[in-house]
Amino acid sequence: MTEIDWDAENILKINNDMDSFSSSVIDESKMDFLRNKIEPWLTAIFQSEHFSLLTGTGLTAALAFLAEVPSQGMGRIDFDCNKDNIKEWSEKSAVELGRGNANIEDDFRCALELLHGLKILKHVDAAILEKEINTKLSLFIRNVIKTESEFLNSTKFNEVLGILKSFLISFSSRTATRERTNIFTTNYDRFIEIGLDSAGILTIDRFIGKIKPIFRTTKLELDYHYNPPGIRGEPRYVEGVIKFTKLHGSIDWKFESNTISKIPLEFGVKEDTPLIPENPKDFSVIYPNSSKGIDTAYFPYSELFRDFSSAVCRPNSVIVTYGYGFGDSHINRVIGDMLTLPSTHLVIISYDTASGRIKKFYDSVNPAQVTLIIGNHIGSIEPLVKNYLPKAAIDRIQERFVRNLEKRGITNQKNPADSGDSQDK
């Protein structure tokens, strides 16, 4: 099998077929060639028995880029208290844990670990560091909210929202006999939520209630069904429903009386909203410790990651990652466990190789179970949605269309579904 050129601008691997190419060679014939390889393969993948999507910060970055607004990234932060110690330990632990370059989560994690030690020692720096952590965490939350606000007020909002809706509809469109799509995200923002709401896709998560949704530790296998008129038997699934899990929490989750509830924080609200208290630890369930297994042992993360592992670690399961840089070892471990089952498959869609982390993970698993769609063209959300993702909600029509053409002896007529015109906007 040909070796993968990890330095190429675009990398495509489907089964044992590999193609590496530069963006400069992308013309209409090349796009047709790629479309004929990628779209049928993903169409089959998306109808697997168990199907999941995992998104990371790359999704938010892509949408913000298209909307021409800045995105709250995962870059480093500097603490004034014990600055050198926190920075050095963050960098060292990030390398040891295989994350590569340290980011904001490593800085917060190390600062929190140091804070616990200072409190045990009753050191005078404990109060200083705790105040600084709260200040910087509050700033981080407000920057996430600011990104949402600028996205909502962008002149390209409707255009980019349409791309996001088409992206989500492609993943949520499943035949009635298939299990619901599971969407997991490590993001704290609500870009996926606004896309789901705008597309009319119903979500099933662990929150129960309308006025004040409460997080439930007991996972109830609820779903949406209907009884077709004049048909007896088991009820059918309602179309356009997904199961949704935010693995690292959300900016609109709040600790209150030993429970977690959602607060009415509108998408696009100004970052100076009074709904954000001075002490963010009492407000948002943001857990920046993404490096060790113990990070998922506490409420509510044990429940969230139990949902993740139970959803993907099953025979005939497929998980698609988009914008996820494989920097979270606890998530990588679950995906690695999934791939020990020969009938499972992983599809990695990414704009780049995430500083080599994707290659490192790829080398640790069975290559035959991995599809790679990486690059500044095929991994970019706009051309991906317009050219390569399966078109949504047309399977039955397309099948009948092809059968009718075959009955008439017409085999070379272009299928209108291939043009993308029938994709929901």
Higher pLDDT, 352 or 16: 352
What are 40-73's pLDDT values in tens digits?
A: 999 999 989 999 999 999 999 999 999 999 987 7
Q: Where are the alpha helices (DSSP H) in 122-234?
A: 125-152, 157-172, 191-199
Region 277-306: mean pLDDT is 60
CA separation for the pair 225, 238 (Å, rounded): 5
Higher pLDDT, 358 or 233: 358
DSSP state of 238: P
- Yes or no: say if 19 and 370 are a contact pair by the CB < 8 Å rule: no
Top-ranked range on mean pLDDT: pick from 193-197, 272-276, 294-298: 193-197
pLDDT recorded at residue 392: 64
Query: Which residue bears the tokens 């993308």?
Result: 420
How far from the centroid of its chain's Cα atoms is residue 175's Cα? 22
- Yes or no: say if 214 and 259 are a contact pair by the CB < 8 Å rule: yes
Task: Note the pTM of the prediction, 2 decimals.
Answer: 0.86
DSSP state of 189: S
Angle at 246 between CA 39 and CA 115, to 5 degrees: 135
